[in-house]
Amino acid sequence: MISYVTIGTNDLDRAAKYYDELLAEVGAKRMMENERIILWGASGAPMLAVCKPFDGSAASVGNGVMVALAASSAEQVAAIHAKALELGGTDEGAPGPRGDGGMTIGYFRDLDGNKLNAIHMG
């Protein structure tokens, strides 16, 4: 149902380096890019885009907006979370079990303050 999700940045080059390494953890690579936007994806999966806002205003973090990256295991959740922090992101909740359904989730913010998580549905 979802084709791609876009989050804003004020420094596309910095965001590109961050997401190149972070999204490699889930097998994603750059699928499209121009001077304003870069989209990463993996075969048949929804894509994540980082862009400078079209209206030319500064990018800002959406309150209540969060992007979830699908992980293949609890170990991959931990690896994605660790990579996000290694690359300069900030911790928003260490990887661990959440809810009653056997989910493992780790929360973090990217270099622009956008909130993401890595999730494995156990």
pLDDT digits over 58-109, tens only? 999 998 899 999 999 999 999 999 999 999 999 999 999 998 889 999 999 9
Given this model, what pLDDT does residue 64 score?
Answer: 87
**What are the E-state strand segments in 1-122?**
4-8, 29-33, 37-41, 47-51, 67-70, 90-98, 103-109, 115-121
Residue type at 118? A
* Domains of the chain in sequence order: 4-54+65-121 (3.10.180.10)
Residue 100 has, within 13 A of its CA and on its CB side, a CA count of 0
Structure tokens, 86 = 């290694």
Q: pLDDT digits over 15-45, tens only?
A: 999 999 999 999 999 999 999 999 999 988 9
pTM above 0.75, yes or no: yes
Instruction: Please answer whether residues 113 and 61 qualify as being in contact, where contact means their C-beta atoms are separated by less than 8 angstroms.
Output: yes
- Sign for the CA dihedral angle at 86, 89, 94, 100 comes to negative
